[in-house]
Structure formats: structure tokens, C-alpha cells
Amino acid sequence: WNDSLFRLFRACCVVASRLLLCMFLFRVAFTSLAADPSVVNLGQGFPDIPPPSYVKEALAKAVSVDRMNQYTRGFGHPPLVKALSQVYGHVYGRPIDPFKEVLVTVGGYGSLFSTMQGLVEEGDEVIIIEPFFDCYVPMVRMAGAKPVFIPLRLKSGKKSITSADWYLDPDELSSKFTSKTKAIIINTPNNPIGKILTRDELQMIADLCIKHDTLCFSDEVYEWLIYRGQQHVKIATLPGMWERTITIGSAGKTFSVTGWKLGWSIGPQHLIRHLQTVMQNTLYTCPTPLQEAVAQGLMLNMELIGQPECYFTSLAEELEGKRDRMAAIVQEAGMTPVIPEGGYFMLVDVSALNQDLSDMKTDDDDDEAYDYKFVKWMIKKKKLAAIPVTAFVSDQSTKDFEKYIRLCFIKVNKTLLLWLH
């Protein structure tokens, strides 16, 4: 885990031993830096576009119904788990039991936590593909297990780069599986690169999971944000994978309401029931009116699947335009964008600028990664916030990723244009 992070954000806690291995996420510190209102924030991953009005209306309506303001079923509000069962039953092409094969959680984040706490423990190893959503490592550690990293590698010799140019080396991946491997975490579309794992890549991962009898935790929160020409494949639909996969989704990312913090885990009963045990001993139930509103949003869009108004596809179309606009702006500024196949983040290679960052050196760390220094410079001098990509990788991969920063493009056009000026 990144040494410079320890030094930058020394928030190590020693009270309970499990806390020795957790630490404040860099985002907490960068959030305050970027909170200056004169800074254009393309860092943290949340929309500043409004959510669809029907979900907001559904929420306001729910609050006016007495029963909707009180506790609902712990493992998921019945209308919501039924809606999830319908939508995903259609997507997976198999029946999904709403009460036994679905768990509603506090965001995709909460699903990740329930999965780790329910299925991972001391002595286990968990394979994590770099770059990774930064919470995977502290969660694996908090569960007492050891993270094992494998980086996505860049195909060489290409001029204009897309997220598809990163690949997993089959032999390297295979070498990471040991008798202690409990699970592999995959994230597709990937945050921060935006790579969508192909069917072949997923099959390769599946073959290894089956061969080594491991679980697969598939973080698919950006599943609907797939751009033209791409296809999102669910690893749980590959032969032999349903029984060993937890698939994670997010209402926040699906409906552009990250502040609702609702997500879900879908999988076979013999796995989900352990996540349910964690749920009933951690927060017991999620907010009712929010679940009711998401249920309605899902059912509405279920009817619209295949039509242009369906939010599952219309949001991706809207974002593709923003993606391309941002790529153009980045290029004009002399940097190299990595065009993402999915998700709402874009990696930007800043090395062409050859920016002198000598006055960004901090007192306590000469070895601070380039991207950290660059982002601080950019916030200070250019009033633009981004996230350094080495925050998403382990120490051994820092040098491969320190020329990249991550920008978020699910922003209103005004925000994107502000930066241009």
C-alpha cells in the first residue's frame, strides 16, 4: 500500500488491531483541498447533472406515505428486491429469487463491505487488479486478509490510447492464484481507467476461479455506462460462475443519485445469506423511502428497455458526448486522454506537458509520486481538481501510473467549459 499515503495522511489508528491496517482515504484530504469554491472539481466521482425528475418525485411521494417512513424488511424493501429481481432476471437470463439472492446495502460500498466481512477472513488472500477503487484494500485488510495485486498492463506502441489498450497478462494472473486465494475482485467497467473486461478476459478469470475453487466479487456499479460499440458482460453469466460470484450494483450510479447511497449484491443463496448475516449485525436495514423510490425508477425503466427514453441507455448516450468533449479539451491543453470504454472517468497522461513541479515538493516527502505533485500544482495554479491515479495502485506499480491523473466527466457542460476558460 502506498507509502506516500501513509506519510501524507497519517491517520493510523491503534485502538483495535483491525484499525492498524486501515487508514484515511486520500479522498478525505483531497476533498478539503478542492472544496475551495474557485476550484473546478473534476476529481471526486459524482454527477453535477440533475437526476431524472421521476426518481425525485417518487422519493417525495414515498415520504408522504406513513408506512414508508418506518422500518422495512432488513435485507431489502420488498418492492425494491422484486424490481431488482425482475430487471436482473432479464439481464442475466435466469430467475433471481428476490428474498434469497438479493441483498440491499448502503451503496455499492456497503455491498463490498458485507461481502468482505461475510466471506473473507484471516489467512485468506484476495486478488485485486490494479488500478482499483481504493476502498478494496482497506476492506480486505479489515477482514484480516492479504491483498495480492496484479496490474493491468499497457500495450506498447500505440499513439492514441483507449482503455482497451490495457490488458491482463494470462500467465501473470495465473501465477497469483494460490491455495490461500479466497476471491478475486474485478471491477468492470473499471474505475479509474474505464476498461470493460471482454468476454474472453472474463472467461480467463472464470477458468482460474473454477480451477482454484475461488469466489469472484464483481463490482459492476458502472454497468449501464457503456459507450458505443462496447458490451458489458456479467461474469456471473458464464458457465459455472453463478454459484461463486457476488455481483454488485448501485442505485447511485444507475440513477445519478450518489447521495442516496443504495446498492445491492446479487448472487446464489449460499453466499448471499452470509452477507445478510453481516447486514443484520451492522446496520440492520436501509432507508425505506429511498428504496421505494429506486424500486419505482427501476420498474419504470424496465418497461422502457430498448426505447430511447430508457435511462439505462440514455445516460450513457449523454455521457458519451461529454466524454468526447473532455477528450478534446484535454488534447487542446497538450495532454493525452485515455478514452474510456465505460464508466464516467477518464485517465489523462500529463507527461507531455513536462511540467516543472519543483516548488510542489513537501517537507516530509521527496519521494512523493509525480501525479500527487501534479494534482496539487493543478489545484493551486490552474484551479482544477483531479485525482492522482497512483492512489488506485499498490507501491510496486506506482512508477507505471504516476504520469496519469483521473478526471470525472459526469458534469454539466458549464463545468467542463469553465475549465476550458
Q: Grid coordinates in use for 326?
A: 473532455
Which one of 2, 4, 85, 117 is in contact with another protein (CB under 8 A)?
A: 117
Which one of 247, 288, 296, 394 is in contact with another protein (CB under 8 A)?
A: 288
Q: Which residues, 324 to 353, sit near another protein by CB under 8 A?
A: none
56 is an interface residue for another protein by CB under 8 A: yes
Which one of 162, 285, 355, 415 is in contact with another protein (CB under 8 A)?
A: 285
Which residue is listed with cell 472517468? 345
In whole angstroms, the minimum distance from the beta carbon of 288 to another protein comes to: 3
| SS3 of residue 265 by DSSP | strand
Sheet holding 102-105, edge to edge: 102-105, 263-266, 245-250, 215-219, 181-187, 125-130, 146-151
Element (H, E) at 30: helix 26-34
Stretch that binds another protein, among 194-202, 220-228, 265-273, 305-313 (CB under 8 A): 265-273
Count of residues in contact with another protein, rule CB under 8 A: 80
Which one of 11, 352, 353, 420 is in contact with another protein (CB under 8 A)?
A: 11
Q: Can you tell me the distance from the alpha carbon of 366 to that of 76, in angstroms, rounded to the nearest whole number?
A: 49
Helix ranges, 281-356 (H): 288-304, 311-332
Cβ nearer to another protein, comparing 35 with 417: 35
Contact 190, 218 (CB under 8 A): no
Q: What is the DSSP letter of 305?
A: T
Contact 185, 246 (CB under 8 A): no
271 is an interface residue for another protein by CB under 8 A: yes
97 is an interface residue for another protein by CB under 8 A: no
Q: Which residues, 201 to 260, sit near another protein by CB under 8 A?
A: 210-211, 213, 215, 239-240, 243-244, 256-260
Stretch that binds another protein, among 102-110, 225-233, 355-363, 388-396 (CB under 8 A): 102-110
Element (H, E) at 88: helix 78-92
The answer for 407, left when phi > 0, alpha when psi is -120 to 50, beta otherwise, is: beta
Stretch that binds another protein, among 53-61, 163-171, 197-205, 367-375 (CB under 8 A): 53-61
197 is an interface residue for another protein by CB under 8 A: no
Q: Can you tell me the distance from the alpha carbon of 190 to that of 340, in angstroms, rounded to the nearest whole number?
A: 9
286 is an interface residue for another protein by CB under 8 A: yes
376 is an interface residue for another protein by CB under 8 A: no
Which one of 2, 4, 72, 190 is in contact with another protein (CB under 8 A)?
A: 72
Cis (ω within 30 of 0) for the bond into 52? no
Strand partners, 407: 346
384 is an interface residue for another protein by CB under 8 A: no
98 is an interface residue for another protein by CB under 8 A: no
